[in-house]
Amino acid sequence: MPELPEVETTRRGIAPFLEGQRVSRVIVRERRLRWPIPEDLDVRLSGQRILVVERRAKYLLLGAEAGTLISHLGMSGSLRLVEAGLAAAKHEHVDIELESGLALRYTDPRRFGAMLWSSDPLNHELLRNLGPEPLTELFDGERLFQLSRGRSMAVKPFIMDNAVVVGVGNIYASEALFAAGVDPRREAGSISRARYLALATEIKRILAQAIECGGTTLRDFVGGDGKPGYFQQELFVYGRGGEFCKQCGSTLREIRLGQRASVYCPRCQR
């Protein structure tokens, strides 16, 4: 599933080509996504100028003059720029054609993504209860420490909770916990303030680094320019169960936490 760095990479890739452009028409070939694409999306968006392309958590917000298109890439979706009128292949469900001659094309083999319309996106039911963005001053180790008090759940699903902080998915939670030397199985409430301060610092560093690398290519993720991300080359633990630890040489262990695979080093993380 595309995580925050992949979505931010997509936003950065498409924004310069969308902002200030007017939509000429919207072609919907398949409406059956996670939630049905609104029947009147073409009517609402055609003729509108796209003012801004923003991101909230893993949602992309295309702000137009009369409302906002909320898009989620689901488990296998991508948005990329193509020439308007380019023949569509299988799974290429939506084209947002621009007067510039380009089109924003949405591809989603599993159809688990979303394209919804809202006049008040930040108060939409999908967004209004989200926690702070991890790369802002609203998120820090003190927040993690305070919210974790009395919590018996493991620390990894705790930092992946979107009410605590958005966008820390499985890949980057695994990597941040390794970098901070924290065992993902530890009870969230048992971790000290000092260790949460270190963990928050690593979350910020790793997410920022992943964005600069264009995200992580797992299966079929590509950015808005159709190019893959390269952060996968920087992974220390995610997807490396049974391999050696790059830091100490121990064998990495793979377990299940919150129905997710989790890899950690029994020597480096405690």
Rounded CA separation 176/64 (Å): 36
- Identified catalytic residue from 12, 31, 204, 260: 260
- Identified catalytic residue from 3, 92, 175, 202: 3
Tell whether 93 is in a known binding site: no
The answer to whether 197 and 140 are in contact (CB under 8 A) is yes
Tell whether 195 is in a known binding site: no
* 3 belongs to the catalytic site: yes
- Identified catalytic residue from 2, 5, 157, 184: 2
* 186 belongs to the catalytic site: no
Q: Which residues pair with 26 in a beta bridge?
A: 96
Rounded CA separation 119/116 (Å): 10
Rounded CA separation 3/170 (Å): 8
Burial of 207-219, coded b for 16+ CB within 10 Å and e otherwise, reads beebbebbbbbbe
Q: Which helix (H) or strand (E) holds 5?
A: helix 4-18
* 2 belongs to the catalytic site: yes
The answer to whether 249 and 266 are in contact (CB under 8 A) is no
Rounded CA separation 45/25 (Å): 8
Contacts of 36 (CB under 8 A, 6+ apart): none
Rounded CA separation 37/50 (Å): 19
Q: Which residues pair with 60 in a beta bridge?
A: 55, 71
- Identified catalytic residue from 11, 58, 80, 156: 58
Tell whether 72 is in a known binding site: no
Structure tokens at 97: 């054609």
Rounded CA separation 2/55 (Å): 13
Residues assigned a catalytic role: 2-3, 58, 260
Residues annotated within the binding site for DNA are 91, 110, 151
Binding residues, as ranges, are 91, 110, 151
